[in-house]
Structure 1
Amino acid sequence: MDRFFTVEVISQTSDPQQVIYAAMHQDYAESFVWHDRDRFPPEARCGEIIVKNLLAGNRGHYGPLEHPQITLNCGYFPHSTMQQMRTHRVGVSFDVQSFRYTGKRILDVISGTRDVEEVFYLRPEGQYTDRQGKHYEYTKELRHQDIEWCLAACHRYYDRIQQGFSEEHARGILPFDVRQHWVMSANVRSLMHLLDLRWKADAQLEAQELCELIWPHFKAWVPAIAEWYEATRLKKARLAP
């Protein structure tokens, strides 16, 4: 796991499994369920009911899962990972750090106040396989060359800024995988779908690591649903719940 990657919770619907229970219950209840809220089962029991009545046996009724929402702050991931995640916008909202306004960290590398690897992402040394199954090694020497290339790009960026270039113009010469932060909101259903897509075995390494960091927050938030997901869907690429 990259030492800078991080995911933190900004906010989340409280008692999310009770919220799902209320939505599910209204589907078949004669009463206006708001009047019954004091009689809802406890949060943990609601989770058990949801798994039994909605999820077990692949019943496929996922609508009630769309009501609770969690907002995550994802930090220090490469630009390419942000692009992969932002592709999945159904039920997921994004606000992403703009390189048009946030070039100071590039200049910080030049001043020595920020490490180059805090600003640019490079994969760790090791053995890799491309999509055609060809094997190759990313050696210490090759990685060092790439760090030097990132440093050179920072110097070129600095020169362009000093020449009066706008940040949106100067950024064009930077290596692709500048680290980037974003805020992401998702409901229970859309977050499971995102995990289906980006935590499967052939997903890109960095996307899988993002899912690894999202997972503990999801598990703490909706534990019964997470337990069901872990047993039935986790890393199985069963898409679009």
Structure 2
Amino acid sequence: MDSRFRVDLIAATPNPQQCVYAGMHQDYSEGFVAADSANWPEESKAGEICIKRLLAGERGHYGPLEHAQIVLNVGWFPHSVMQQARTHRVGVSFDVQSMRYTGDRICKAANDELELEEVFYLRPIGSYSDRQGKKYAYTEEQRYIDLELCRAAAARYRDLLAAGFAEEHARGILPFDYRQHFVVSFTLRAFLHFLDLRAKLDAQQEIRELCDLMWPHLQAWTPQFADWYEKSRLHKARLAP
């Protein structure tokens, strides 16, 4: 995994499994469930009850999971990850560096004020295969050529801006996989759906690594749901409801 890849927690529902429980409980309760919150099961027990009544046996009653929300800051991933992350209907909100207002780092890389690989992503040297199973090697020599292309593109971008070109015009000559930071918010349901789509074993390498970095946040936030998901759905490409 690239050493720069990073996922940090910004905010999260503090009692997510109780929130799911409250939503589920209101579905079949005569009373106003918040008035009885002192008698709700504690957080871990609430998670166990929700798993049993909503998800065990592939019941698939995912609606109450939408009441719990988490916000993450994702850093230094290539643009291709953002392209994949926003593909399909994931029910997720993103705010992403635009490369219209955030290109100063490219100029700094062109001027050797930042490492080139701080702003551009290239896969490490190694053996790879495409989705049809065809194997190939990405060698040191090939990677050097690609780094020099990135260097030339950064210099051209800098020079275009200096000549008065608009940022959205200049960015068109940049390599596709410049690095981007973004903030993303999930409901618990959307988080699990995203993992169904992107943690599967034939997904693009970099977005699987994003899922790997997201996973500990799910475990810390909703441990009972994470445990159930790991046993029943993780890496199995069962597309979520």
* Shorter-chain TM-score above 0.5: yes
For 2:96, the aligned partner's letter is V
Deviation at 1:111, TM superposition (A): 2.3
Deviation at 1:130, TM superposition (A): 1.2
How many aligned residue pairs are there?
Answer: 241
For 2:49, the aligned partner's letter is I
Quick check: 1:140 aligned with 2:104? no
Quick check: 1:5 aligned with 2:10? no
Deviation at 1:132, TM superposition (A): 2.3
CA distance in 1 between partners of 2:206 and 2:38 (Å): 44
Tell me which residue corresponds to 1:64.
64
Within a 5 Å distance, the mapping from 1:114-133 to structure 2 comes to 114-133=114-133
CA distance in 2 between partners of 1:88 and 1:219 (Å): 25
What percent of counterpart residues are identical?
Answer: 62
- Structure 2: which 5+ residue stretches go unaligned? none
CA distance in 2 between partners of 1:132 and 1:200 (Å): 16
CA distance in 2 between partners of 1:92 and 1:179 (Å): 20
Tell me which residue corresponds to 2:27.
27
> Tell me, what secondary structure is at the counterpart of 2:57?
coil
Deviation at 1:89, TM superposition (A): 4.5
Within a 5 Å distance, the mapping from 1:65-144 to structure 2 comes to 65-144=65-144
CA-to-partner distance for each residue in 1:200-240, whole Å, 9 max, x for gaps? 01100000000000000011000000000000000000112
For 2:93, the aligned partner's letter is S
Deviation at 1:109, TM superposition (A): 0.7
CA distance in 2 between partners of 1:62 and 1:119 (Å): 39
Within a 5 Å distance, the mapping from 1:198-217 to structure 2 comes to 198-217=198-217
The CA RMSD over aligned residues, in Å, is: 0.9
- Structure 1: which 5+ residue stretches go unaligned? none
CA distance in 1 between partners of 2:40 and 2:223 (Å): 18
For 2:198, the aligned partner's letter is R
Q: Runs of 4 or more off by more than 6 Å in structure 1?
A: none
CA distance in 2 between partners of 1:26 and 1:81 (Å): 38
CA distance in 2 between partners of 1:88 and 1:2 (Å): 25
CA contact (8 A) 2:73 2:184 kept: yes
Change in CA separation of 1:9 and 1:48 when aligned onto 2, cut-off 3 Å: same
Deviation at 1:110, TM superposition (A): 2.1
Tell me which residue corresponds to 1:231.
231
Name the TM-score, length of structure 2 as normaliser.
0.98
Tell me which residue corresponds to 2:53.
53
Name the TM-score, length of structure 1 as normaliser.
0.98
CA distance in 1 between partners of 2:107 and 2:2 (Å): 23
CA-to-partner distance for each residue in 1:59-80, whole Å, 9 max, x for gaps? 1111111110000111110001
CA distance in 2 between partners of 1:188 and 1:131 (Å): 30
CA distance in 1 between partners of 2:90 and 2:201 (Å): 23
